[in-house]
Amino acid sequence: MIEAIEKRRSIRRFIKKPIAKKDIMEIIEAGTLAPSEKHAQPWKFIVISGSGKKELARRMKAGIERNRNDLHATFGKSYEALIPSAIYTMRILQQADTIIFVMNTKGKPYNEPLTMAEHLLELTDVQSVSAAIENMCLEATQRGIGSLWTCNIYLAYEEIKEWLQTDGEAVAAIAFGYTDREARKPARKPLEEVIDWTRYEEAEETSE
């Protein structure tokens, strides 16, 4: 497993080579084996390919234009810097063979105000769904299939949600496909920068 973790990359270039349905099923099955808070399993997987990708592109384009032109949109003028990345992602999604939207079936609408308790419960479910997404990306890596976990879909969230017609809220979309290029290894923060040992007490070694 550590090999798949080290090998996994965010792939942004895909070639025209279909993924077998069996592989897609087993990638999703890996997602369902993820841990979830109180074993709630708050996930649903919406699989898109073929003409569905064209409709997704149309929806994303409409959402991007809405945010670009409407000062009161979710991502209005102050978020204009996000638009080029969303357009780039839209093109990548068209290259991918298969796209899977991963839903939080217990999720409340993102524009709905939440109490602190509701917000915390929402966080636990999003964490569970995120664990499923990571499992899927790792399983794809082990099968020689590239993946891209993206949240740029949020710039067209209303348009995409209307199209998907399903309960819950999308946590992310994952693009899957084969690639003919090896992605570069990204820099990672050193461990000493991300670990806080100040409350750790090392157990003393006992001699027998």
Reported as a single tens digit per residue, the pLDDT across 60-102 is 999 998 888 777 777 777 778 888 999 999 999 999 999 999 9
Structure tokens at 182: 């090896």
Which candidate, 188, 138, 131, places its Cα nearest to that of 5? 138
Q: pLDDT digit string (tens) for 95-125?
A: 999 999 999 999 998 888 999 999 999 999 9
Q: Domain-by-domain residue ranges, the chain?
A: 7-194
CATH of domain 7-194: 3.40.109.10
Give the pTM. Answer: 0.92
For residue 170, the SS3 value is strand
Helices (H), the chain: 2-7, 21-32, 51-69, 83-95, 116-142, 157-164, 191-194
Which candidate, 147, 118, 111, places its Cα nearest to that of 30? 147
Q: pLDDT digit string (tens) for 116-173?
A: 999 999 999 999 999 999 999 999 999 999 999 999 999 999 999 999 999 899 999 9
